[in-house]
Amino acid sequence: MDGRMTRSGDPTLRLAVHPYREGWATHPAKGPVDECGVFGIYGHPEAARVVYHALIALQHRGQESAGIVTADGANLYTHRGLGLVSDVFEKPESMARLVGEIGIGHVRYATYGASRLGNAQPVVVNTRRGGLALAHNGNLVDAPVIRHRLEEGGAIFTTAIDTEVLAHLIVRSRAASIEEAIVDAINQVHGGYALLILTEDRLVGIRDPHGIRPLQLGRLNGSWVLASETCAFDTIGAEFVREVAPGEMITISEHGKLRSQSVVKEPARPRPCIFEFIYFARPDSNLAGVNVHSVRKAMGRELAREAPADADIVIGVPDSSISAATGYAEESGIPYEMGLIKNRYIARTFIMPTQTGRESALKLKLNPLRKVMEGKRVVLVDDSIVRGTTSRHLVKLLREAGAREVHMRIASPPYRYSCPYGIDTAQSGELIARGREVDEVRDAIGADSLAYLSLEGMVKATGLPVDGPGGFCVACFTGDYPVPIPEDLDKYMLEGGKGR
Ligand code: AMP
């Protein structure tokens, strides 16, 4: 689909939209949100094969498109496509072409309206300094404004994604070396990002100044690897070395020499995204040195202490809430039961463009176990409520399956603000907790009771030595955006995230 089309397919509806700001009018279009997974390797004889396996491990971070670019010291080799990693690289020829010992890969999350091959990453450009490929997880909040400026100066864009803005900035830099040009470009943009850049003979990894998006460094025998999540290292047999620091740029060049430098002018307070812990990352990954499953379980325990329920069984919404639900069950002493069966072959319901689409996909995806549910008072634990589609549907489903009472418990606080840093949730106007008190949300989803985990309880559950919520990006719960959104952004936004 062309990035300028609206969800309804009406190309005339090219309204300027800004999904994050308070009070913006509800509009079916989306901003340039790219919630994705990245992986890079330097110095492996079968770089493409390793990237492929790592991308499969990161598939949960994006199912819309996948791509790999490799380099052999002189040229770049690219293969990208729409769909799952295994589909995109189904034909052996597509892998065989990807020669070289350096490589980067990307999986992209579906954001409706911008789903087309042209938006698949890595973005590849030919420059006077040679070929350059960029793979990016996150979102640059000022990309539309910069894009507008560049387009006015004659720049031509071929995708709707902000990664291309970075490519332009790198190419335009007058700096002597490619590393300096990258630093130049990075200093002109703001947002939450984990970025991998491949040149013909080097690999660069950068994490945003607040460390909002995750990036990990590892070692696979003699090769260096960089990944969004540590589960990719486990899959390929790599060893975790450390997290890339907020604002750090790592360059790996000849013979695997690793150089680290800070690319931020003024150090910023680290504020990693708490939603990675809540929902997005895989439970077998570690973030900031702590295991995601353990954190989710601790969130469930905390929730049980804060919001007990008089009930017979606890069930979780597969898969992301199972950890929290087991924590809730253990702490409360109420037995955990397998109450919902998930059909693994149904794509994520969250990303369906229409409400009817989301609802019917949910029916296909989750089925309650009537035998377990009949006559029971059920605690239903989910990691989050965004639009409320899932909770509303599940409460009804459990009642139809015989549940006597349904007590909804959410292992995170009310989600009230849209994310501008790369987590694709709904726009603010669609968020069910926006402008509603908890009991109003309870009524809207039809539960007997509803309780959310407190902000403090959530932070405590991470076990990390931070001084409260300010040690994370918790903007989706509080509206406190660590990276300011440009005031005049609305002027530059078009449907599909294209700059005007
Ligand atoms: P909703 O149905 O809109 O209330 O979305 C909440 C459900 O979607 C919960 O079951 C979450 O596990 C899941 N979820 C939360 N955030 C996301 C996200 N960014 N992408 C996909 N699913 C999500």
Q: Give 305-316 pLDDT, tens digit per residue.
A: 999 999 999 999
Ligand 1 neighbour 382 (Cβ under 6 A): yes
Nearest atom within ligand 1 for CA of residue 382: 10
Question: How many Å lie between the centroid of ligand 1 and the Cα of residue 74?
Answer: 43
CB half-sphere exposure, 447, CA atoms < 13 A: 30
Q: Whose CA is nearest to atom 11 of ligand 1?
A: 384
pLDDT above 70 for 6 = no
Which of 59, 319, 350 should be mutated for ligand 1, with most atoms under 8 A from CB?
A: 350
pLDDT above 60 for 499 = no
What pLDDT shows up at residue 7?
A: 25
Q: Any catalytic annotation for residue 419?
A: no
What is the arithmetic mean of pLDDT over 340-351?
A: 74
Ligand 1 neighbour 384 (Cβ under 6 A): yes
What is the arithmetic mean of pLDDT over 188-204?
A: 97
pLDDT, tens digit, 9 for 90 and up, residues 208-261:
999 999 999 999 999 999 999 999 999 999 999 999 999 999 999 998 999 999
pTM of the shown model: 0.90
Ligand 1 neighbour 408 (Cβ under 6 A): no
Domain range summary for the chain, segments of one domain joined by +: 2-271, 292-473
pLDDT, tens digit, 9 for 90 and up, residues 472-496:
999 999 999 999 888 766 666 543 3
Give the CATH number of domain 2-271; options: 3.60.20.10, 3.30.420.10, 3.60.21.10, 3.40.50.2300. 3.60.20.10
Question: Distance between alpha carbon 157 and the CA centroid of its chain, in Å?
Answer: 24
CA-based R_g, the chain, Å? 22
What pLDDT shows up at residue 490?
A: 62
Q: Whose CA is nearest to atom 15 of ligand 1?
A: 384
Ligand 1 neighbour 407 (Cβ under 6 A): no
Which pLDDT band holds residue 41 (cuts at 50, 70, 90)? Answer: very high
Q: Whose CA is nearest to atom 9 of ligand 1?
A: 384
Nearest atom within ligand 1 for CA of residue 386: 4
Question: How many Å lie between the centroid of ligand 1 and the Cα of residue 436?
Answer: 18
Ligand 1 neighbour 276 (Cβ under 6 A): no
Q: Whose CA is nearest to atom 17 of ligand 1?
A: 425
Higher pLDDT, 158 or 378: 378
pLDDT above 70 for 196 = yes
Amino acid at 100: G
Ligand 1 neighbour 386 (Cβ under 6 A): yes
Ligand 1 neighbour 421 (Cβ under 6 A): no
Ligand 1 neighbour 413 (Cβ under 6 A): no
CB atoms within 10 A of CB 153: 9
Annotated catalytic residue within 36, 231, 273, 419: 36
pLDDT above 80 for 23 = no
CATH code for the structural domain at 292-473? 3.40.50.2020
Ligand 1 neighbour 358 (Cβ under 6 A): no
pLDDT, tens digit, 9 for 90 and up, residues 381-435:
999 999 999 999 999 999 999 999 999 999 999 999 999 898 876 777 889 999 9
Question: How many Å lie between the centroid of ligand 1 and the Cα of residue 155?
Answer: 37
Nearest atom within ligand 1 for CA of residue 419: 19
What pLDDT shows up at residue 467?
A: 85
Ligand 1 neighbour 317 (Cβ under 6 A): yes
Question: How many Å lie between the centroid of ligand 1 and the Cα of residue 488?
Answer: 30
Question: How many Å lie between the centroid of ligand 1 and the Cα of residue 384?
Answer: 6
